[in-house]
Amino acid sequence: MKKKIFLLAGALLFSVSILLAQHGSNNADEEICKHILAELQQHSEKSTAELVVFAGKLLMNTPYVAHTLETEPEQLIVNLQELDCTTFAENCLALARTAQTRKPSFKQFKNELQLIRYRGGEINGYPSRLHYFSDWILDNDKKQTVKSVSQSIGNTSFNKTINFMSQHPSSYKPLKNNAVFIEALHKQEQELTNTNLYYIPTEKLETVKHFIKNGDIFGITTNIGGLDITHVGIAVFNGDELYFMHASSKAEKVILSEETLFEYLQNQKTATGIMIARPL
C-alpha cells in the first residue's frame, strides 16, 4: 500500500532520466530543476510541506553520493544528480519554496538553496555552511524557512557536548592545517552546546507520532561522541504508520523506507531519537 503514494511520480522520474541523457551533466541540474518546478507549480495551492514530499517523490532513485559540497573555496554547489541525506532534504525544501514564488526559476532556486544551506543565507568560507543539522534547524527557524517543533512534540532536553568537527579536523579537507576555520567551528560548537536543544527520544516516538506531519524534515540524533545528528530524512505517513524518504548510503539512492521510522531507529545502534523541522 505505502508504495502506491509514489506512483504519481513514475512518469516524471522517467522524464528526468531522459533529461539527464539528453543534456549531459553540464546543463542537467538546471533542466531537472525546471522540470520539477513545472510539476510542482501544478500543485502550488499545497502547503510547503506537501510540496517538499512531492519534490522528494520526483527525486526518487537519484544516486546517493557523499561529499558533493566539498569544494575550495566554499561556493554554492547545485547538484540534483547526486544527493546525500542532507542535500536531499535541502533541495526538496528549496524546490518547494521556489515553486511558491511568483516566477519560479533556476536562479530563484539557487537563491533559496543558499538561504537554506548557509548561516544567515550568506556564504563566507567553509564555516558559514551549516554543518551540524541541529544548527541547521536553529538557523532556518530564525530565517523562517522552517519551524523547530522538537520541543513542542517531545519536550525532552538534548544535553550534549558538540565538538566532533573541531576534534577531528583531519576528517574534513577544508579544516586540515587551517587554524582559522577550526577556531571558527569550535566557537560555533560551543554556542550550539550551550543552546537549549530538544529532541524526541526513540522510546517516545510511537506515542507522539500523530503530532508529526507529512513533509516534516527530521535529523536522527546519535550517541556518538561530539555529534548531534547522523542522518536526515523527510516524514511520510501511510495511514497511521510513519515512514520516511531519504538518500540512503546502503541503498545507494533516494528511497522510501521499507521500515517505519520507529523500526529504523530501533535497528540503529547509535540512534537515540529525532529532531524535527517543519517547513513553513
- Tell me: the pLDDT tens digits for 69-103? 999 999 999 999 999 999 999 999 999 999 999 99
- Tell me: the pLDDT tens digits for 214-233? 999 999 999 999 999 999 99
44-51 mean pLDDT:
95
Burial class of 162 by CB neighbour count within 10 A (0 to 12, 13 to 18, 19+): buried
Neighbouring CB atoms inside 10 A of 102's CB total 5
Q: Indicate if the pLDDT at residue 126 is higher than 70.
A: yes
Q: Indicate if the pLDDT at residue 6 is higher than 60.
A: no
Cβ atoms 93, 17 nearer than 8 A: no
Mean pLDDT (the chain, rounded): 93
Q: Quick one: pLDDT at residue 7?
A: 43
Closest residue by Cα to residue 164 from 219, 118, 229, 116: 229
Q: Quick one: pLDDT at residue 25?
A: 52
Rounded Cα–Cα distance for residues 251 and 9 (Å): 19
pLDDT band at 127 (very low <50, low <70, confident <90, very high): very high
pLDDT band at 23 (very low <50, low <70, confident <90, very high): very low
Kindly list the structural domains of the chain, giving each domain's residue range(s) and its CATH number in brackets, ordered by start. Answer: 2-279 (1.10.3670.10)
